Amino acid sequence: MATGTSNESKETRVEWLDLRALTEYACVSERTIRGWIHSPTNPLPAVQVGRKILVSRRMFDTWLERHQVRPLEEINIDVIVHEVLEGVRNGR
């Protein structure tokens, strides 16, 4: 019976990721992650302890799942155009 653990099982036990670890986990740049954290709409939940920014792996996965790309056939262009034109007419 092996007593060692693989890197993958070690990694899955880590709940809080710093930005460097999150860049590797998400395969995006630190700049992108910082943009997501500081976004005015639907920001990525994060905590800051001193100068260290941490993101919960579970919260990141949940946040990311809410950003699934919809197939083009599900997007109703007519409705989008109508809403934009209504906004222009109403001075928005």
- Tell the CATH topology of 13-89: Arc Repressor Mutant, subunit A (1.10.10)
Measured torsion, CA atoms of residues 2, 15, 67, 28, in degrees rounded to the nearest 10: -80
| pTM above threshold 0.95 | no
- The whole-angstrom separation of Cα 85 and Cα 45 is 34
- The whole-angstrom separation of Cα 9 and Cα 28 is 22
| pLDDT (0 to 100) of residue 30 | 97
pLDDT in tens, the chain (92 residues): 455 555 555 555 689 999 999 999 999 999 999 999 999 999 999 999 999 999 999 999 999 999 888 777 777 778 888 888 888 888 76
**Which residue is associated with the tokens 């990721």?**
17
Q: Cα angle vertex 9, ends 45, 13, to 5°?
A: 35
| pLDDT (0 to 100) of residue 57 | 96
Residue 15 near residue 57, CB atoms below 8 Å: yes
| pLDDT (0 to 100) of residue 23 | 97
Strand 47-49, strand 16-18: pairing: unpaired
Q: Where are the domains of the chain?
A: 13-89
- The whole-angstrom separation of Cα 37 and Cα 24 is 16
